[in-house]
Amino acid sequence: MSQQHKDTSSISGSSPIQTGEQYIDSLRGRDLTVYLFGEKVEDIVEHPMIRPSINAVAQTFDLAQREPELASAISPFTGERVNRFLHIATDAEDLVRQNKMQRKLGQLTGTCFQRCVGMDAFNALYSVTYEMDQTHETDYHQKFKAFVGMTHKHGYVIGGAMTDVKGDRSLPPHQQADPDLYLHVTKRTADGVYVTGAKAHQTGCLNSHWLVVMPTLRLGPEDKEFAIVGAVPVEAKGITYIYGRQSCDTRSMEGGSIDVGNARYGGQEAMVIFEDVFIPNQYIFMDGEYDFAAMLVERFTSYHRRSYVCKSGVGDVLIGAAATIADYNGVSKASHIRDKLVEMTHQNETIYATGIAASYQGFATESGAFLPDDMLANVCKHHVTKMPYEIGRLAQDLAGGMVVTMPSEQDYRSNEVGPLLEKYLKGKADVNTEDRVRILRLIENMTLGRNAVGYLTESMHGAGSPQAQRIQIMRQMQVDYKKKLAQALAGIENEETRLEIMAKVDGYFARVFKLSDQGDRS
């Protein structure tokens, strides 16, 4: 097997990766080109800034061990139990369990656990390859199923690489001054294709075993060379990773455990640069079918925008931190404090409610894969672009100014000023001062530090920035239908309009209440 398309099945031998520890071991000794602070990183697993992100992914394995019904499923490809992040959802219950698993993992890690992009890409590609084959008489679906089966056999982590760097946002890919600003095919051989380009903000890319590259937007006939979907091992020749830094990230290199806020878990994003990276034919799942790029992006975002219920799990941690500091400060009985916790909870549950509703309202595609309701998925993600900021604001309100003015861990530990801080950072007499410092640092971490990347700004831009959801909501808001509803009740309609409305109302409710799949969202 050539080095260019080696199968990483050797990583875990013949049995699948099942525990967090096995997963961490599977990441050791890989030949990766990773840059951080201008230097090549030799060992990502033991790097103090990178390890917390690996620990977060490891939790996805350990949770599946502890709660198999929640975080695993039976693979139709191997007949064995497989991690839910690799499972193709075939009913609403599968989609709902994804969401419940995501909330739980947000609670356990307080950060981004990085596996949802791969899960959502798998689910979207399952139906899109099926429908592409129907139209174009291609064989992508079989090849894709073989790939999914292989990942089940080994228990791999999959990264979904969608977001191109995009250059001039007003121009389509083929009109860019530099064609590499969108990933594209540069060369073809009888064995496969070579691709060049760069994907930005790649969540968990280094912590994955395989990356699936996909187009990032609707494409036209002249963008054919950009219509490429394929899988490559993370260590494929020609890939360079440039690690993204996060606010306060170097605190993890200071050696302490307080100032980092959340010492164990963190997220990961990197820029992934592809320079003539080879994708063998067996791992190509779209090549030139530009007319299916929009379907892939829309289906992927339909899954991914309700995957953001992960933030309700992270929100649970922040609400808990805010309630804890109120206890430590002796103010937990004040009615305005309780009311702020109620407001935080209301907003947090609103995120969860719309995400889980999108899953319950899902429907079967021709391939059998279940697709969430697009409108509700977009509403969920749109909430996520706003509500964590308000929840974060209220957490800082409850924390008080000390959250940003507290002296360092080194001062707290020093013989000279440590005792002074111990005395003057005290809250309630029966509360350990260090505990008070620790919870304040966690609030700082989640609203200003490393995990604010995931909880706030990533909530804004991940799975598409707010405007992307507003466009989808606008497309599906049926305002003409709603105008007719109002006009009918105001006595403005004629008989023809009335019948049309009744048919649409029947169709809409049939969809909403699952009486048939013929609902109206036109």
Where does this chain bind ligand SF4 (CB under 6 A)? 112-114, 116-117, 203, 307-308, 310, 454, 458, 462
269 is catalytic: yes
Give, as ranges, the residues between 208 and 267 that touch Fe ion (CB under 5 A).
none
Q: Is residue 118 a contact point for Fe ion (CB under 5 A)?
A: no
Cα dihedral sign, 83-88-90-95: positive
Which C-beta is closer to ligand SF4: that of 153 or that of 299? 299
Radius of gyration of the chain (CA): 24
Which C-beta is closer to ligand SF4: that of 180 or that of 458? 458
Q: Choose the binding region for Fe ion from 18-26, 257-265, 373-381, 461-469 (rule: CB under 5 A).
A: 461-469
Q: Is residue 362 a contact point for Fe ion (CB under 5 A)?
A: no
* Angle between helix 433-447 and helix 310-329 axes, rounded to 10 deg: 150
Distance of CA 157 to the CA centre of its chain: 13
Q: Is residue 392 a contact point for Fe ion (CB under 5 A)?
A: no
Burial class (CB in 10 A: 0-12, 13-18, 19+), 474: exposed
Catalytic residue among 269, 289, 409, 444: 269
Which C-beta is closer to ligand SF4: that of 462 or that of 519? 462
Q: How far is the CB of 459 from ligand SF4 (least distance, A)?
A: 8
Tell me the site size for Fe ion, rule CB under 5 A.
Answer: 1
248 is catalytic: no
283 is catalytic: no
60 is catalytic: no
69 is catalytic: no
Q: Which of 462, 464, 507, 519 binds Fe ion (CB under 5 A)?
A: 462
Q: How far is the CB of 270 from ligand SF4 (least distance, A)?
A: 14
116 is catalytic: yes
203 is catalytic: yes
Q: Which two tokens stand for residue 127?
A: 């139906």
Q: Is residue 449 a contact point for Fe ion (CB under 5 A)?
A: no
Rounded CA separation 106/84 (Å): 15
Q: Which two tokens stand for residue 27?
A: 């990441």
Select the binding partner of residue 310 from ligand SF4, Fe ion, none (C-beta < 5 to 8 A, by kind): ligand SF4
Catalytic residue among 112, 205, 248, 380: 112
Rounded CA separation 333/182 (Å): 55
Q: Choose the binding region for Fe ion from 181-189, 314-322, 395-403, 458-466 (rule: CB under 5 A).
A: 458-466
Question: Please, are residues 57 and 207 in contact by the beta-carbon 8 Å criterion?
Answer: yes
Select the binding partner of residue 454 from ligand SF4, Fe ion, none (C-beta < 5 to 8 A, by kind): ligand SF4
DSSP conformation letters of 394-433: HHHHHH-THHHHPPPHHHHH-TTTHHHHHHHT--STTS-H
Q: Which two tokens stand for residue 174?
A: 């083929």
Q: Is residue 313 a contact point for Fe ion (CB under 5 A)?
A: no
Catalytic residue among 87, 116, 241, 447: 116
Those residues with Cβ within 8 angstroms of residue 68's Cβ, 6 or more apart along the chain or in another chain: 81
Strand-pair category, 210-213 with 158-161: parallel
Torsion of CA 415, 420, 421, 422, to 10 degrees: 90
Which C-beta is closer to Fe ion: that of 225 or that of 374? 374
By beta carbon distance, the residue nearest Fe ion is 462
Where b means 16+ CB within 10 Å and e means fewer, 16-50 reads bbbebeebbebbeebebebebeeeebeebbebebb
Q: How far is the CB of 307 from ligand SF4 (least distance, A)?
A: 4
Which C-beta is closer to ligand SF4: that of 274 or that of 308? 308
Q: How far is the CB of 493 from ligand SF4 (least distance, A)?
A: 44
Q: Which two tokens stand for residue 516?
A: 């048939």
Q: Which two tokens stand for residue 449?
A: 């530090």
Q: Is residue 160 a contact point for Fe ion (CB under 5 A)?
A: no
Q: How far is the CB of 421 from ligand SF4 (least distance, A)?
A: 35
Q: How far is the CB of 116 from Fe ion (least distance, A)?
A: 7
Rounded CA separation 518/36 (Å): 52
Rounded CA separation 351/337 (Å): 22
112 is catalytic: yes
Select the binding partner of residue 114 from Fe ion, ligand SF4, none (C-beta < 5 to 8 A, by kind): ligand SF4
Q: Which two tokens stand for residue 165?
A: 């760097």
Which C-beta is closer to Fe ion: that of 212 or that of 341? 212
Q: How far is the CB of 117 from ligand SF4 (least distance, A)?
A: 5
Catalytic residue among 304, 382, 383, 455: 304
Catalytically active residues, by annotation: 112, 116, 203, 269, 304, 308, 310, 458
